Chain A
Amino acid sequence: MPHLAPLLRVARRLTFDNTAAEDLVQETMLLAWRGFHQFQPGTNARAWLFRILFNAFYGEGRRSRKASGTLPGSAVVEGFTCQEIGEILNIPIGTVMSRLSRARQELRKTLAPLAKEAYR
């Protein structure tokens, strides 16, 4: 089954819980199976699956999309381009880039004390 591992990795970053992540991926694949007729052949299947995953996670209005600032980072790990991330999250490419930049800054800030510790 293609793209299962990347979906599970991103689901873990979203849910911070292994079981919830597996449930989310199961739901994603079932939604994809049932809605396969909506997929247009020749388009990006991986991006389509991730869009379903994010929509399933943010569905029913239980979670705020404002919290999706860290998501571009996860998507970069999976090798998506900024344009693909923008299409998946339905946000402008500029927003993707600014969020990525912010995520990297935060990561550097978090890792800095650890790096100092390591070089002592």
Chain B
Amino acid sequence: MEFVSAEWWNLCFRWLHVMSGIMWIGHLWYFNFTQTPTMPKIPAELRPAIPRFIMPEALWWFRWGAMSTIVFGILLAIMNGYLGQAIIIGIGTHSAHITAIGIGMWLGTIMWANVWFIIWPNQQKVLGMVEASAEQKTRSARVAGLASRTNTLLSIPMVYCMTSIHFY
């Protein structure tokens, strides 16, 4: 492999795509597997530290991790020439490889939209970054929580699609 060749850029983008994905899904799983179930066990006087110090920082890496993952993912699909075929989940190509990556890309895209258009705007209200009434905050916490759980559910088949492509 020649240095700074097309192949080298391909590997470089794949590396950055996977690292960004770890940053994103790592935080998603931290929220769902660690933080949310632990919240009720935290003494009341310590609980405010989570929304005040942990959440703003974690949500920054979470949402920009999601952005970086999709950007490098799209670049990879363009470089490898399968973006169009993957969008139509490989229908008519008779390639399980393209179908798997296409379904994975759609799942990832739904998750990315969930992060930027549902979770983040609602979390801003919950954390007081955007003005909201107590009633709106309660509703936003519920909506953001369900969207986060939906992404946890979708992450399982999404990671399957992304990691299975070399076996198809």
A associates with B: no
Q: Please report B residues at the A interface, Cβ cutoff 8 Å.
A: none
